[in-house]
Amino acid sequence: MEYSKYLPLSEASFYMLAALTEPSHGYAIMQKVEAMSGGSVTIGPGTMYGAFNTLEKQKLIAKVAEEERRKIYALTELGREVLTEQVRRLEIMVKSAHAALDLGRAA
């Protein structure tokens, strides 16, 4: 499976996918993302609504229910794979950057 066309995920999409491992509606995701990121990432409703549309079109998330005008989304299997691949790539990046910075300090 080729995931490159989905990657890299934007910070907002990344956190939204991570939050959607449990089905949630928009506002719940906002709160979850803020908690997950230790308050460093906040997603405004305009950004989130646009990301819902994009991620749904890409079939990374899917609407599973609707409660009082709130759409509830969940991660799809493809969404899970893309998130996993993004995490794998990020880990490589973090590891190599640490190594490079350490090397730079030692020299």
Residues found near another protein in the complex (CB under 8 A): 10-12, 25-27, 30, 42-51, 66, 68-71
Instruction: Assess contact for 33 and 47: CB atoms under 8 A.
Output: no
Closest approach of Cβ 59 to another protein, in Å?
19
Residue with tokens 């997603």: 43
Q: Which amino acid is at 17?
A: L
Closest approach of Cβ 105 to another protein, in Å?
32
Nearer to another protein, 57 or 105 (CB): 57
Q: With b meaning 16 or more CB within 10 Å and e meaning fewer, what string describes 37-53?
A: eeeeeebeeeebeebbe
Q: Which amino acid is at 72?
A: I
Q: What angle do CA 39, 42, 43 make, to 5 degrees?
A: 160
Nearer to another protein, 44 or 87 (CB): 44
Nearer to another protein, 25 or 89 (CB): 25
Nearer to another protein, 16 or 75 (CB): 16
Closest approach of Cβ 48 to another protein, in Å?
7
